[in-house]
C-alpha cells in the first residue's frame, strides 16, 4: 500500500490508505468507529534525574533542544495561544535548524500568518511536513504540492485524541508561557504576553517525551495559578519576548457592520428564541467572528427581554461574553481560548470564568465531553451542500486556507447552526457538493443566511418548533436556487490533480476527506 492507494469512505470520499507511512482508518460515519487499545503512556521519569532545587533553567532554546536529544525526523509541537503574535514556534524550529536537524514534523495546535517563514524551513528540508492547521500562505504552499510530507488537519479535539491515543508521538513539546517558574509551572493569564488559557498545550505537556517551557516572565516558585504542571516539564528557557502583545490578543473584538451579516446574526438569535432553545439555564457557543459577536448582542437583548439566564456559555471569550457574565446573564464562561483583553482580564480574576482544555471540551475519545451538552453552537463554513455537509478548510477552488479549530467538535451540540452569507465575492456558499468535506450533514441542523433559514429535514422537531414564527424558514434547495439565479449559474468545480496533499481527520481519528493538489 502507498499514499496513492485510495478507498472510498462512508461519506463517499476518496481517501488515501496510508498517510506519511502510517496506515489509516477511513471515516465510518458518526460514532461508527470503535477505538481499541490503550492511551499512550509517556516514558516514566524519576526525580533522581531532575534538580532537587527545582531549577530547570537552561541557557537557551538550542541548549534545551540538545538536552532533549533532538534528532532528524522528530516531532516538535507548539501551541497557538499567542496567535499571530507568536514568536516561540519559529524560535524553536529555527534553533533546531541551526542545530542541523532535518525532516522534522511540526505539530502546532494551529498556525498563523506569522509562521510563514516555516515555508523556508520546509524548502530547506528542516521541516518535512506540518500536521495541524495550514492557514493562509502555508495552506497555499501545501495545496501547490510543495510540502514533502502530507498535511494532516485535525480539530482541536482530534489533536488531543491523536496524541492521547498515540497516533501522534510528540518528541519535544515547546510551550510558550506568559508566566512560569523555574520548575516549569506555567500560566497564560498573567505577564506582559498574557494570552488567557493555555489549554491547547496541556496535551503536549502530558504526553510528549520532552517538554520545554519558554517564558518572558519568570516568577518565583510557585507560579500560581499553574495550568501547565512543572512536574511534566524538563527544561525552562527565559527569552526577552515570547510574542507581540498587540498580535496575541485583540484590544477589542469587532462586531460585523455588514447589513447582510447583521441580519444573519439577528436571524440566528431569533431562531434560538423562537425554537425555545433560549430558555432558563440554556447554553451556547459562538466564535469570535463578526457574525457570532453580533449574534451574542442580539441574543443578549432577547435574554434580557425574556428574563432568561444561561447556565454557561462557551468561549473563545470576548468582551461580549464577559459582559454576559458580569451582568448576571450567565453563571459561567467555560473557555477554551481568550480572544481579547477583556477575556484575559476576566479569566485571570473571575472564578466563574473557567479555563477548559480540548479534553474536557472536545476530545471524542473521552468518557463524554462538553460539546454534546451545549444547547446551540453557532459556526461558520466556507461551503455547505444541500445535504447540509459542510466545508471549513478549502474554498470552492479547492485551495487549503483554513484549519478546523473546534468546528468539528462543536457539531455535536444539540443544535448546530451554520451562520453564513449566501454568497461571498459572487461565489455561492450553498453548493451541490462541497470541495472538501469537513463535517457530515447529519450533525448540522440549521443553515442561516441573509436569504432565509434552512432547517435540516432530519430535525423535524426544530421545524415544528419554529412553525408559525415570523422567521424566513425555507428549504436549502430554494435558497441555493435563488442565489444561483442572482449569480447566473453554478460555480466552476475546482481544478485538482489526483495527488493528495493533505487529509482531513474526523474527531475519532478516521480520515473523512482528502485535499488534492491544485492544477497549476
Among the listed ranges 31-39, 301-309, 476-484, 488-496, the one in contact with a second copy (CB under 8 A) is 31-39
Nearer to a second copy, 284 or 423 (CB): 284
Q: Exactly one of 144, 311, 458, 474 binds a second copy (CB under 8 A); which one?
A: 311
Q: Minimal CA–CA distance to 417: which of 496, 471, 358, 482?
A: 471
Cα-flanking dihedrals φ and ψ of residue 476, to 5°?
-65, -30
Angle in degrees, CA 175, 405, 508, rounded to 5: 95
Q: Exactly one of 82, 118, 147, 233 binds a second copy (CB under 8 A); which one?
A: 233
Nearer to a second copy, 165 or 450 (CB): 165
Q: Exactly one of 69, 113, 192, 222 binds a second copy (CB under 8 A); which one?
A: 222
Q: Minimal CA–CA distance to 198: which of 46, 64, 83?
A: 83
- What part of residues 320-339 is at the interface with a second copy (CB under 8 A)? 332, 334
Nearer to a second copy, 234 or 450 (CB): 234
Nearer to a second copy, 49 or 240 (CB): 49
Minimum gap (Å) between residue 498 Cβ and a second copy = 33
Assigned C-alpha cell, 250: 485583540
Q: Can you say whether residue 398 is alpha, beta or left, with left for phi > 0 and alpha for psi between -120 and 50 degrees?
A: left
Inter-axis angle of helices 290-306 and 319-326, to 10 degrees?
20
Asked if 224 is part of the footprint of a second copy (rule: CB under 8 A), the reply reads yes
Asked if 312 is part of the footprint of a second copy (rule: CB under 8 A), the reply reads yes
Q: Minimal CA–CA distance to 196: which of 83, 81, 326, 110?
A: 81
- What part of residues 382-411 is at the interface with a second copy (CB under 8 A)? none
Residue 482, exposed/middle/buried by CB under 10 A (0-12, 13-18, 19+)?
Answer: middle
Minimum gap (Å) between residue 285 Cβ and a second copy = 13
| Residue that has been written with the C-alpha cell 502583545 in this structure | 245
User: Residue 68 CB: number of other CB atoms within 10 A?
Assistant: 21
- What part of residues 113-172 is at the interface with a second copy (CB under 8 A)? 164-166
Nearer to a second copy, 312 or 388 (CB): 312
- What part of residues 256-295 is at the interface with a second copy (CB under 8 A)? 281
The residues near 244 (Cβ < 8 Å, ≥ 6 apart) are 85, 87
Chain-centre distance for alpha carbon 128: 22
Minimum gap (Å) between residue 319 Cβ and a second copy = 22
DSSP 493: P
Minimum gap (Å) between residue 165 Cβ and a second copy = 6
Minimum gap (Å) between residue 208 Cβ and a second copy = 11
Nearer to a second copy, 174 or 233 (CB): 233
Assigned C-alpha cell, 89: 514556534
Q: Exactly one of 183, 282, 339, 516 binds a second copy (CB under 8 A); which one?
A: 183
* 3-state secondary structure at position 112: coil
Q: Exactly one of 2, 52, 328, 520 binds a second copy (CB under 8 A); which one?
A: 52
Among the listed ranges 34-42, 102-110, 147-155, 269-277, the one in contact with a second copy (CB under 8 A) is 34-42
Minimum gap (Å) between residue 48 Cβ and a second copy = 4
Minimum gap (Å) between residue 169 Cβ and a second copy = 11
Assigned C-alpha cell, 331: 453563571
User: Residue 357 CB: number of other CB atoms within 10 A?
Assistant: 20
Q: Minimal CA–CA distance to 146: which of 155, 154, 137, 158?
A: 137
Nearer to a second copy, 164 or 217 (CB): 164
Chain-centre distance for alpha carbon 515: 18
Minimum gap (Å) between residue 129 Cβ and a second copy = 25
Site string for a second copy, 77-116 (x = CB under 8 A): ----------------------------------------
Site string for a second copy, 453-492 (x = CB under 8 A): ----------------------------------------
How long is the chain?
Answer: 520
Site string for a second copy, 491-520 (x = CB under 8 A): -----------------x------------
Minimum gap (Å) between residue 30 Cβ and a second copy = 8
Work out whether strand 430-431 and strand 383-385 pair parallel, antiparallel, or are unpaired.
parallel
Q: Using the Cα atoms of residue 68, residue 72, residue 73 and residue 75 in order, give the sign of their dihedral.
A: positive
Nearer to a second copy, 355 or 448 (CB): 355
CA diameter of the chain: 73
Nearer to a second copy, 26 or 245 (CB): 26
Rounded to 10 degrees, the C-alpha dihedral 350/351/354/355 comes to 80
Asked if 22 is part of the footprint of a second copy (rule: CB under 8 A), the reply reads no
**Alpha-carbon separation of residue 194 from 130, 295, 297 (angstroms):** 26, 27, 26
Which residues of this protein are in contact with a second copy, per CB under 8 A?
Answer: 31, 33-48, 50-54, 56, 164-166, 183-184, 211, 220-222, 224-225, 229-234, 281, 311-312, 332, 334, 351-352, 354, 359-360, 363-370, 372-373, 412, 508
Amino acid at each position: 500500500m502507498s499514499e496513492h492507494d485510495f478507498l472510498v469512505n462512508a461519506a463517499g470520499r476518496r481517501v488515501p490508505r496510508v498517510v506519511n507511512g502510517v496506515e489509516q482508518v477511513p471515516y465510518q460515519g458518526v460514532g461508527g468507529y470503535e477505538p481499541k487499545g490503550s492511551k499512550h503512556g509517556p516514558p516514566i521519569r524519576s526525580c533522581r534525574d531532575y534538580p532537587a532545587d527545582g531549577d530547570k533553567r537552561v541557557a537557551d532554546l538550542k541548549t534545551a533542544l540538545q538536552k532533549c536529544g533532538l534528532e532528524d525526523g522528530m516531532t516538535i509541537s507548539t501551541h497557538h495561544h499567542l496567535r499571530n503574535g507568536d514568536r516561540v514556534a519559529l524560535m524553536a524550529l529555527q534553533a533546531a535548524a541551526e542545530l542541523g536537524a532535518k525532516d522534522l514534523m511540526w505539530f502546532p495546535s494551529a498556525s498563523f500568518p506569522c509562521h510563514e517563514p516555516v515555508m523556508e524551513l520546509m524548502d530547506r528540508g528542516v521541516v518535512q511536513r506540518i500536521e495541524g492547521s495550514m492557514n493562509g500562505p502555508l495552506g497555499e504552499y501545501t495545496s501547490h504540492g510543495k510540502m514533502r510530507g502530507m498535511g494532516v488537519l485535525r480539530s482541536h479535539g482530534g489533536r488531543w485524541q491523536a496524541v492521547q491515543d498515540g497516533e501522534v508521538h510528540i518528541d519535544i513539546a515547546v510551550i510558550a508561557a506568559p508566566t512560569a517558574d523555574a520548575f516549569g509551572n506555567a500560566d497564560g493569564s498573567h505577564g506582559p504576553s498574557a494570552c488567557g488559557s493555555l489549554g491547547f498545550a496541556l496535551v503536549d505537556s502530558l504526553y510528549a517525551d520532552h517538554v520545554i517551557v519558554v517564558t518572558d516572565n519568570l516568577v518565583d516558585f510557585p507560579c500560581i495559578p499553574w495550568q501547565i504542571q512543572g512536574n511534566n516539564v524538563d527544561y525552562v528557557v527565559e527569552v526577552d519576548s515570547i510574542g507581540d502583545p498587540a498580535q496575541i490578543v485583540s484590544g477589542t473584538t469587532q462586531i460585523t457592520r455588514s447589513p447582510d451579516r447583521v441580519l444573519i446574526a439577528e436571524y440566528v438569535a431569533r431562531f434560538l428564541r423562537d425554537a425555545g432553545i433560549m430558555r432558563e439555564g440554556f447554553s451556547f457557543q459562538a466564535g469570535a467572528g463578526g457574525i457570532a459577536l453580533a449574534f451574542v448582542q442580539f441574543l443578549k437583548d432577547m435574554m434580557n427581554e425574556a428574563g432568561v439566564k444561561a447556565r454557561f456559555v462557551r468561549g473563545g471569550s470576548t468582551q461580549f461574553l464577559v459582559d454576559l457574565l458580569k451582568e448576571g446573564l450567565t453563571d459561567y464562561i467555560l473557555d477554551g481560548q481568550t480572544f481579547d483583553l477583556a477575556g484575559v482580564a476576566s479569566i485571570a480574576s473571575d472564578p466563574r470564568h473557567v479555563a477548559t482544555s480540548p479534553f474536557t471540551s472536545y476530545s471524542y475519545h473521552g468518557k463524554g465531553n462538553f460539546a454534546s451538552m451545549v444547547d446551540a453552537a453557532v459556526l461558520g463554513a466556507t461551503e455547505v451542500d444541500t445535504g447540509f455537509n459542510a466545508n471549513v478548510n478549502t474554498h470552492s477552488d479547492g485551495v487549503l486556507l483554513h484549519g478546523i479549530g473546534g468546528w468539528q467538535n462543536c457539531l455535536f451540540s444539540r443544535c448546530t447552526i451554520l451562520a453564513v452569507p449566501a454568497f461571498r465575492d459572487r461565489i455561492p456558499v450553498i453548493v451541490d457538493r462541497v470541495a472538501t468535506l469537513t463535517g457530515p450533514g447529519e450533525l448540522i441542523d440549521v443553515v442561516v443566511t441573509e436569504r432565509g433559514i434552512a432547517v435540516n429535514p432530519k430535525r423535524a422537531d426544530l421545524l415544528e418548533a419554529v412553525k408559525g414564527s415570523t422567521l424566513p424558514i425555507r428549504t436549502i434547495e430554494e435558497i441555493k436556487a435563488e442565489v444561483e439565479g442572482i449569480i447566473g449559474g453554478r460555480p466552476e468545480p475546482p481544478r485538482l490533480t489526483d495527488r493528495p496533499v493533505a487529509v482531513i481527520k474526523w474527531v475519532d481519528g478516521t480520515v473523512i476527506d482528502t485535499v488534492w493538489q491544485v492544477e497549476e
